[in-house]
Amino acid sequence: MTRRKLIAGNWKMNGDLAALAEIDAIAAAAVAYPGVDVAIGVPATLIAPAAARAPGLAIGAEDVHSADSGAFTGCISAGMVREVGASFAIVGHSERRGGYDETDAEVKGKAEALLRHGLNGILCIGETAEQRDAGNAVAVVTGQLRGSMPWGARSGWLSIAYEPIWAIGTGRTPTVADAAAIHGAIRATLVELLGDDAQAMRILYGGSVTGDNAAALLSAGDVDGALVGGASLTAAKFVPIIAAAAGLG
């Protein structure tokens, strides 16, 4: 099955109002690659201005709370980010799972909040270096997938992002063969969980993706796009990744 490539950025806790110029430049360049879906998750403070300036680009949140409202100081709900222009949100990033002790059940609740509010989702999973070295990468990742998969999961609104924690911000990436193997295991688990719809669901790779390695990683079997951190912060670094995806058809 042919799946359109999705190149998504994750700005993490980076970006001020001046950085919106990069959003403008990415949006302008993305027009040249109509065969690729482009999205950027930005800090909550930038969702409204970015969405207003770049209507052709999918602008999203980097996290949401599982509840719609309530006594959760400092948190933001799916409905709130939707109201100011987000069309998607990332949930379950390892920096949330690890840094804030988010469980699979909590990530599942967050993904279900996205569905309730009509947002698309990118659900992240990924193993630590220790888990990989112990030979447990597939078991860990497929376990996270089973535990976090929301009710109502469908390829139309949900994508999976495989982000090995040892590859995030390190300059290290899996080999193309390793990426294909683990993405294949994720696909097989999606088939178990979702049946026929599993073939249409996109599985992104994330972790040290750059313009130099994107074409190779994106050519691996079952790699349907990328979730990009550092290299999504500027058009100069992000656009070559979009171009690499376009080159693969």
Ligand X SMILES: O=C(CO)COP(=O)(O)O
Which parts are annotated binding residues for substrate? 10-12, 169, 208, 229-230
User: Which residue in the list 93, 112, 117, 127 is annotated as catalytic?
Assistant: 93
Binds ligand X (CB under 6 A): choice among 40, 228, 235, 245: 228
22 is annotated as an active-site residue: no
Residue ranges in 53-112 that form contacts with ligand X under rule CB under 6 A: 93
Is 209 among the residues that bind ligand X (CB under 6 A)? yes
Is 206 among the residues that bind ligand X (CB under 6 A)? yes
Binds ligand X (CB under 6 A): choice among 60, 109, 164, 230: 230
CB of 166 to ligand X, least distance (A): 10
User: Where does residue 92 rank: exposed (0-12), middle (13-18), buried (19+ CB within 10 A)?
Assistant: buried
Is 159 among the residues that bind ligand X (CB under 6 A)? no
Residue 96: φ, ψ to 5°: -90, -45
Report whether 185 contacts 137 (CB < 8 A). Answer: no
How many whole angstroms separate alpha carbon 125 and alpha carbon 88?
17
CB of 221 to ligand X, least distance (A): 21
How many whole angstroms separate alpha carbon 125 and alpha carbon 32?
31
CB of 242 to ligand X, least distance (A): 14
Report whether 127 contacts 164 (CB < 8 A). Answer: yes
How many whole angstroms separate alpha carbon 206 and alpha carbon 128?
14
183 is annotated as an active-site residue: no
Judged by CB, which is closer to ligand X: 77, or 208?
208
User: Which residue in the list 22, 117, 163, 183 is annotated as catalytic?
Assistant: 163
Judged by CB, which is closer to ligand X: 27, or 228?
228
Report whether 110 contacts 66 (CB < 8 A). Answer: yes
What is the distance, to the nearest Å, from the Cα of residue 138 to the centroid of all Cα atoms in its chain?
Answer: 19
How many whole angstroms separate alpha carbon 41 and alpha carbon 3?
21
CB of 234 to ligand X, least distance (A): 12
Residue type, 191: V
Site for ligand X, rule CB under 6 A? 10, 93, 163, 168-169, 206-209, 227-231
Q: Give the catalytic positions in this structure.
A: 93, 163
